[in-house]
Every structure is written in C-alpha cells, then in structure tokens.
A and B are shown apart, each in its own frame.
Chain A
Amino acid sequence: MHQLARNLHLQQDEPALYKLCGLSYSYPNGQTALKDIDLDIAPGDRIAIIGQNGAGKSTLLKHLNGLLPVQQGSLTYKGQALVEDHLRQARLEIGLLFQDPDDQLFCNTLQEDVLFGPLNQGLEITAAIAATETALTAVGLVGAAQRAPHKLSYGQRKRAGLAGLLAMSPDILLLDEPTANLDPHQEEVLLQLLKDFTGTLICITHNLLFAYEICERAVVLDQGHIHHDYTFKELVSHKASLREHGLDFTFRFAAAPMPEDLETEDQTPPTIKTHPDGHVAPGSSQLIQLQNYGFTYPDGTEALVGLDLYISRGETLAIVGENGAGKTTLVSCLIGLRCGSGEYQLGDKQVTDANRRDNCRQIGMVFQDSSDQLFCPSCYEEVAFGPRQLGLPKETIKKRVAEALDQVGLAGFDERVPLHLSGGERKRLALAAVLAMQPQVLILDEPTAGLDPAGEELLLGILKSLDVTLILISHDLFFIRRLTRRTLVLHEGHLVQDYSTEAFFADTNLTSLNQLDFTYRNRCSLEIMRLQHEHEHSHRHHHSHEHPHRHGDLVHSHPHEHEHEHVHIYNHTHHTEPDKASQESANSVQEPTHGHLPRADSPHDHEHPNHEDETHDHKH
C-alpha cells in the first residue's frame, strides 16, 4: 500500500521559483545529508518538509537560502544559481526563521534588530523605521521596540525574530521548527501570523497539526532522499507512509475523548488510589505536602501564591498552565533549587532553606532542554555524575549506571559522546542520568519538546514502565492523558484546579481562563481523523467482468479480464451508537463506507471488502 514519490506537476506556464536537480550534499566529516534531491517549488507554494530527525530537512532548508553551497547537482532560484550577486539579492527576498530565536536576535535592542534587514536592503532610515514599526505591530511587540531581547519571553523572542523577517517584506519564508517550545496560545498566535502571510512558505516541522493548518503540500524526506511529494491531505490520510517515516502521530489522536481506553491501558499499581476531586486529607502516606506555599521573586513578582498540595507515593500527575503560570517555579521549589515561604514537607522531612539542597536525593528532574543537563564527555560519566555526587561506592555506581542505561534502551552507549547523540537519545540519556540516582519522584518538564513522533513513542513506553511518583509539566495533551491520572491547573501562581485527568479533559472552561487554548489542536486532530477515514488511494486492480461492445454491426459481450490502476475514495466513521454504525455499514454500496464503534486499538487498518467487484468506470 506504500506509494512512491509522485511529483505534483506544476502547470507549465508557471515558472518554478526553485528548481532542484540531483542535489546532493555531504558534510566534511563524510556524513551524507542530501542525496539526489529533485524538487520544483512554484511561487505561492506552501510546503511542509517533514521527516525523522536527521533526515536532512535543515540541510535542505539551508540550501534554499544559499547558506550551504551546492556540492553536486543544481539548484536554481528564479532561473539562476544562488551565487554572488544573485545570492545577495535572493537573501533579501527570502526570510529564514531559525529554530532558536537567540540565534536570530543578534542586536541589543529589538528595534535595532528589526532594522538590520531593511537597512541591508538599502532602505532609507525613515522608510526602514516605518517598516520596522509595521512589522513589530504585526507581531504585537511594538511597545517593546527599545527592549533588549533577553528581557523578552521565549514566545516574544520567536515573534520578534519573525518581525525581523517581515520587515523585509520577503517573498518567501523558510521556517525551521517554528513551534518548538511554544505554549498552545503562542502557537496559535504564530499560526495566525503565518496564515496572514501570502508569499511562498516552506516549513520544517514535527508538529503535523500545525503544518496541516498552514501548508498545502508535504515533502517527506528520508535519509536524504525525497520519499514523497504529496498534497498535505494525501499525506495525513496515508497512515502507512507516515508510520514508515516515524511520523505516525496518529497514535496521539487518542487525546480526543475516548474514555474507555483508560481501563485497558493503565496498568498502574493497585496501591494507588485516585482522588477524583483531588482533595485528600493530609495524612502520613503523603510524600509531598505543601501548605500555604508561596514564592516571590526578589523583584516582587509573585510566582506562587498560597498553594496547598498533597501528593502521595506512586501518584501520577500533570501540571498545566500557560507560560509564566508558575509551573517551573513550583517544580524548582520542589527539587530545592529555590526556597519559598510556607510549609513544605517531603517524606518525613521538613524542608528548610538549609536542607533543601538534599531534596534531589528523593526528587529527580528531566529538564526541557537536554543540553542544560548533559555536560560530560561520555554517557557513562554523564549517568555516573549524580551517584558520584551522592558519594556512593564505585561498584554501586557502576551497577546503577548499567541499570539506568538499560532502562532507557541505551545499553552499550557507555563510551559514546552525549553531544553526538540524536535529540531523542539525549532525552533518554538525561532520563537515565536522573534514574541512576533512584529518585522516588520524577519530574519531567516538557519531555516531548523537539522529539519526532517515533522518539515520543519510545519515550512514552519507557515512562509507562517506570515505578515512580510522576510529575509531568506539559502542554502535550496526549502525554498527559497517557501518563497521568491527576491534573493540576496553575494560573498566575494560583492552583485553580486539582482534579482527575478525565475531569480535566472534560473541562471546557479552561480556554477563557488562562488561554490554554487546546481547541485548535483538537479541531485539527478531528479533521485529520476524518481525512484518514476518508482517504484516497490507488493501486493495481484485477478485474473480470462483462464487457459489451460492438464490432462493426455486431454487438456482443464477453467476460474481460484486465488490470489497471484506479483511485478509491474510501470512507469509514467511528460511531458511539451501535445502531447507526451498523446501519451505515449496510448502506455502503455506491460509495464504500462503513462505521463501527471506536476501537481500543486505534489507529487501525481496515479490510477492503469486495472492492474487486465494485462497479466503476474506466477507459478501454
């Protein structure tokens, strides 16, 4: 069922914006990044470049802006190779948004930074300032023009980077992981900005839901090859190819409410009692007890206010909230990096400013960015770092390292250099480094940031197998649903909700409260689910049927066997009411449709009953 590359044919009268022929690239260290890329990009195309980590996406993007020289093959932009004057001109027409906004904001104030592009385009200073104002207004940062980039939040910096491009009124926008590390609200803001952009858009992303909203065409890269060149709708409706490229994000669609899969999937130890309303009487079984806990930064910002929180051993909970709601402050208080006011009891120990630094013996944390946690020259030393700090004997350390590496599927990586591992491996290494300290509580801060879907699935499997108290900070509804049974909602430092995860998913009041706008994601996923159920595919068919025709005056008919390729539209729906489902199955004659109850093994493939016999038109 796997389709091979099929080029979308451009209309002949429209000249290609980019024309790539047999483009190959390998890095000086011998690593091949691109191999034989043939690609035409027309003006106005909106393309998502997708593929696993390391598939060559960034390398391709850098070629489109002439940041990497063409080694083999050819690349033309508007009919000419990207060199010298043409390259200089092209760069002023092409905007490239980097993944890390700090790479892009290299000036000391926002205004200077946004001015950089227009001034390089040769604009007069007054015109450049006008362009700057327009761009900053568009991204909603006009008030911050004189501020230094490091005084802005991550989301603001991302938008500031975009403003620097928009001020140049580019014809083409190249985006490298535009949504990495953004919360859902900021993601939506960015989405709106990009939807308003009318030029050519080429975007690398793992976030297929986001790409689905802004892109029409999908180019799938696999180990440096172009594997598919589809319309986006075709891609998402074609599960087999998604899975092959480690892009099968459809396993995430369980995030849409399907309550009954909880019973079948959760194998949490029986000792755990969930507390549907979250209110637990303080008692001896509590591992973490916070009473009237608060934290105020020296500048007076109240990050946490009057928190009462009890967490018992073995519980799994999620903390959600908008950026700046106090999630990170809360966990850094829990592990003892900060000390707030109020009562904090960990196990049977009263945590004070003097002993808070010992908390890390019981509580481990995996940071959002693995680079902040990995600093040793080998994986062994990395994992051994924690146990070594605890002063454990050498033999114990050795044993623990081996165990931890094994647990995360990195056995045998002892001598590898952490920096050279892939993003997913680094995340798992960071997890191993924490597990080696054998914490009772494990805190994960946005564990899925920057992972490709295959990496996410692997991580999920590991996390589900762990036997610890789990605290998950995430915007990722799917992970929250799969891993936790209780959810805390923080808003401006207050704990506004503390209830079961099911209740959280049923809660519809969150959007207005704290801009935790997950709705668009839900909207997208529903739409894609529908697409996957109404998909188009084509393959060889073998038919045998009556074939009436005439020879001269003689009309006759005989059975006729033939093979040809044709396209199916194939529908099926998931219904919760059994009646309707069966009814639809019965009706599926002309347009094959079937319906059934939601199944636990979602996503699933379907039989194609009787399609050999389907009536259809074709040429003879």
Chain B
Amino acid sequence: MHISDGVLPTTIALGTGVVSLAIATWSAKRSPAEDLPKVAVISAAFFVASLVHIPLGPTSIHLLLPGIVGALLGPAAFLAILLGLVLQSLLFQFGGLTALGANALMMGLPALACGLLFQTLRGQSRKRQAITGAFCGGLGVLGSALILAILLALSGEDFLGVAKLALLAHLPVVVIEAIAAGFIVSFLVRVKPELLEAPFTLRKEQILPDTKPKR
C-alpha cells in the first residue's frame, strides 16, 4: 500500500523527503560506484516481481518483498526501493510524487532492518534459512504497515481511523508475504546460495562463473 499525494501535511511530506534522500545517498555511497549499474538492474527485477499478480482465493496477490530486498542487497536495498517507488510513481501513479519520501521510508527502513536481521539469524541449513526468510519477509511487511500507520496518525487525529484500518488490512498480507519469502529463500539456498552469502555490495571482489544465458 502506498500513500498518495495530498494525504500527508506538507511539513511531513517534505521532512520525510529530505530524510529519505539522505538515507538514499548514504545507501549509494555504501555501494562501490561500479556496483550501481548492478543495483539498477536488480531494482528493475524487484519492480517487475512486485507487478506479478497471482489470483489466490477470492483476491489477487502481488508481492512487496521488502525483507527479501534487504536480505539480498544489504545497504543498497534502500536505494533500490526508492528507485522502485519512483518508477511506480512515474509509470503507474502508485504513490504520489510528493509523498515519495514517506513511501520510501515506509518500505525502505523495514527492508534495511530485515536484511540485517536475516544476515544475523539465518544460520546454515536450508530449512533454517527458509524459516528465517519467512520471518523476515513477514516482519518487513508488518514494519511497513506500522510506519504507514504512524505517518497517518502524525497527520492529525482525523486520520487515526484510517491508520488503524490500514494496519488491520495488512495482517493477511503479512502471512502471505512470509510464506512466499520462505519459498523464495529456500529456492535461492538451493540454486544460488552465493546470493544470500553476503549483501550484494560486499561481494565486490568476487567474480562469478560465466553467466551467459543458457539457451
């Protein structure tokens, strides 16, 4: 869920904007310059992954994946998420231009936190990593929902009701995201564990084997 234009008071919109630009700059600085094109490409992949709608029961789900972004990208996750949000706003008008900062904080902070958490807790076995992944995936969405609620609540007492409702509406999403994140991590552990080894930007020296398309 994104905040659209016009909901937040200008002070909060501008304030969050400045804060997220600062974090994004930090995030870009933490990644070696030559890794930025790679962050760009992988951001596009996450963006597309979040576009995939899968009907499930009476509704259709699409994944937000903040936990996975954090686990795979480390500090660069915030930049990747900001990029994704800018693109969503430019292309689809999901989330407003003036609320960009707020949206970035809402998605990016939980991603950073969950990424760190995943790297600390993940352990070695496939099962444990999958469970940790699921936990972080769910937690990421829960964190986003909380920040959303807080931002709304800060906007005035008129928005308290909306804030509570938004938080409530996210609960089923948390469950679905957690399960999906578990499966994604389990897949990655099996197929390309080096992606989970250390956040993206730290694997600067490593050159992976020939990755030409296998056609």
Contacts and interface: CB of A to CB of B under 8 A. Distances in A.
B33 interface: no
Contacts of A450: 214-215
A99 B213 contact: yes
A371 B191 CA distance: 14
Contact of B214 (A27, A28, A33, A426): A426
Contacts of A420: 191
Closest 6 pairs (CB-CB, A-B): A450-B215, A377-B190, A27-B209, A423-B214, A377-B187, A419-B191
Interface in A110-167: none
A68 B214 CA distance: 20
A417 B190 CA distance: 8
B146 to A, nearest CB: 33
Contacts of A377: 186-187, 190-191
Nearest to B209: A27
A417 B212 CA distance: 17
A59 B206 CA distance: 15
B213 A59 contact: no
A422 interface: yes
B210 A33 contact: yes
Nearest to B189: A377
Given A28-B206, A68-B207, A419-B192, A99 B212 contact: yes
20 contacts: A27-B209, A28-B208, A28-B209, A29-B209, A33-B210, A58-B210, A99-B213, A100-B212, A176-B212, A369-B213, A369-B215, A371-B214, A371-B215, A377-B190, A378-B190, A419-B191, A420-B191, A421-B214, A423-B214, A450-B215
B212 A58 contact: yes
A476 B178 CA distance: 47
B172 interface: no
Q: Size range of the interface on A?
A: 20 to 34
B37 interface: yes
A105 interface: no
Given A106-B37, A377-B190, A377-B191, A59 B210 contact: yes
Contacts of A422: 214
B209 A371 contact: no
A378 B189 CA distance: 12
A550 to B, nearest CB: 65
B209 A100 contact: no
A410 interface: no
Nearest to B210: A58
- Looking at chain A's contact residues, the main secondary structure is loop
Interface string A324-335: 000000000000
A176 B210 CA distance: 13
Contacts of A100: 212-213
B25 to A, nearest CB: 23
Contacts of A58: 210, 212
A484 interface: no
A324 to B, nearest CB: 20
Interface of B: 37, 186-187, 190-192, 206-210, 212-215
A450 B210 CA distance: 16
Contacts of B208: 27-28
Contacts of A181: 215
B68 to A, nearest CB: 16
Interface in A31-82: 31, 33, 58-59, 68
Most buried by A among B37, B209, B212, B214: B214
A194 interface: no
B35 to A, nearest CB: 15
A143 to B, nearest CB: 26
Contacts of A423: 214-215
Contacts of B213: 99-100, 369, 371
A106 B210 CA distance: 20
A83 B78 CA distance: 34
Contacts of B192: 419
B213 to A, nearest CB: 5
A210 to B, nearest CB: 16
Contacts of B214: 370-371, 419, 421-423, 426, 450
A99 B190 CA distance: 27
A290 interface: no
A377 B186 CA distance: 9
Contact of B207 (A27, A378, A417): A27
Contacts of B190: 377-378, 417
B209 A180 contact: no
Given A422-B214, A426-B214, 12 more contacts: A27-B207, A99-B213, A106-B37, A181-B215, A369-B213, A370-B215, A371-B213, A371-B214, A377-B186, A420-B191, A423-B214, A449-B215
Nearest to B186: A377
A450 B212 CA distance: 11
Most buried by A among B186, B209, B212: B212
Contacts of B37: 106
A63 to B, nearest CB: 12
Contacts of A176: 212
Contacts of A31: 209
Given A106-B37, A377-B190, A417-B190, A28 B207 contact: yes
Nearest to A102: B213
Nearest to B214: A423
Interface string A181-192: 100000000000
Contacts of A421: 214
A377 B185 CA distance: 11
A106 B207 CA distance: 21
